[in-house]
Structure 1
Amino acid sequence: MQEHIDAILKNTGLEPKLIDEIVTIGRLKKVSAGNVVISPDSPGNEMPIVLSGLLKVMRQDPDGNEVFLYYLEGGETCAMSITCCIEGRKASYKVMAEEDSTLWMIPMTYMDSWIKKYESFRRFVFGAYQTRFDELLMTIDSVVFHKMDERLYRYLLDTKQATGSYEIHKTHEQIANELNTSRVVISRLLKGLEREGKIEQHRNKIEIL
């Protein structure tokens, strides 16, 4: 397992000495698909790095409505969790396992000192911020400027890219919840995409063509 962790962390460009520290003080966490990794208002006391699997980050309003923001893949971390760790505040978002995932959890007490001590960790943190910021801008553009059918198709393509599979195993209800709309709307739009030859719908899955 340590060799696998070392390989993942080396691909992020972190310095060998820092990798040794991360491996020494971190802990392994396995989470099954559909389970929550970070919930709203949970204390920001650990930063997750994805070793394998796929996480999705959701924004939740006070009424419990959710909207999908972005995915986290192998070697990535959540920029919002870094902010919560450094500032010691509770999360205002939710992170769930899209697939069975293995994570390496790092205590928040080391974040500040690593940013000052290691240039590679500063690059890693700022790179995570930039990547997530770009994805959030795409989400805002999608909500403000695009019609729901365009948002849906972009969501399907993002899911395909993140999972590495042309088959999406989600119900219409699940997709509707993540796009903050109704199941009826999603079902109607999926039929439209199917007529356009962009997807095929099968029992319990959607195939991107």
Structure 2
Amino acid sequence: MTNKLLQQKFNQILDDNLLNEIFQTGIFKEYKKDDIIIDINQPLNYIPLLLSGNIKILREDANGDELLLYFLEAGDTCAMSLTCCLKTSKSNIRAVAESDSSLILIPVEKIQDWFNTNESWRNFILDAYQIRFNEMLETIDTLAFMKMDERIFKYLIDKVKLNASTSLEIKHNDIAEDLHTSRVVISRILKQLENENKIKLSRNKIEVLQF
């Protein structure tokens, strides 16, 4: 099953020889929704390749409050964890399973070796850096230029795209934590969005009507 998932998600990106080596040297892991995959200040000896599921990448402030940076989908890797691996430093992000997820972990000693010797791996890593950099810029733009109601609605739309469903099982407090604000603010704005016929609210569930 591991090799099948690996082939399905990466066979258009990485060459067959490299996929075989990843399968031989990587460590397969499964995580349940809300499991912490990588924590802040954790030493990183591996980088993850996401085979199935979704992962959210978070930063933490001095008070312990979290801010969502971006999501990873199947076929992605986390460029920030890659940077920490190459620098042999500790993680500066938290990676949490957004849904049940499976990963294959690549030992750090293989990362630089493949970067120097395998074109498909090198292109994959450079593309990952570019994608994550663009997502970081989008997060900064959202914080700097969007009003909170726009941020919340964009967050919901991103969730719809991520889950391929307009029906989201999510608590108001979860949104508040991801967007670094209070539950009261989230509940008020969600009600406003419902009055604008953009969403429909029910217990621990939000139906997105416009996107």
Shared fold (TM-score, shorter chain, > 0.5): yes
**Contact map agreement 2:172 2:204 (CA 8 A) in 1:** no
Equivalent residue for 1:122? Answer: 122
Equivalent residue for 2:181? Answer: 181
Equivalent residue for 2:137? Answer: 137
Equivalent residue for 2:9? Answer: 8
Matched, 1:156 2:178: no
Equivalent residue for 1:31? Answer: 31
Matched, 1:171 2:165: no
Q: Which moved more, 1:1-10 or 1:51-60?
A: 1-10
1:40-77: per-residue Cα shift (whole Å, max 9, x none)? Answer: 00011111111111110001112211001111111101
Shift of 1:3: 2.1
The within-5 A match list for 1:89-128 is 89-128=89-128
Equivalent residue for 1:207? Answer: 207
1:82-117: per-residue Cα shift (whole Å, max 9, x none)? Answer: 111111110001000010111111111111111000
Partner-residue secondary structure (3-state), 2:170: coil
Equivalent residue for 2:44? Answer: 44
The within-5 A match list for 1:68-79 is 68-79=68-79
Partner-residue secondary structure (3-state), 2:7: helix
Shift of 1:163: 1.1
CA distance in 2 between partners of 1:54 and 1:4 (Å): 14
Shift of 1:4: 2.4
Aligned length: 208
Shift of 1:7: 2.1
Matched, 1:21 2:21: yes
Partner-residue secondary structure (3-state), 2:43: coil
Shift of 1:169: 1.1
- TM-score normalised according to structure 1 size: 0.97
| RMSD (Å) for aligned C-alpha atoms | 0.8
Partner-residue secondary structure (3-state), 1:181: coil
CA distance in 2 between partners of 1:195 and 1:4 (Å): 43
Shift of 1:118: 0.7
Shift of 1:5: 1.8
**Contact map agreement 2:45 2:107 (CA 8 A) in 1:** yes
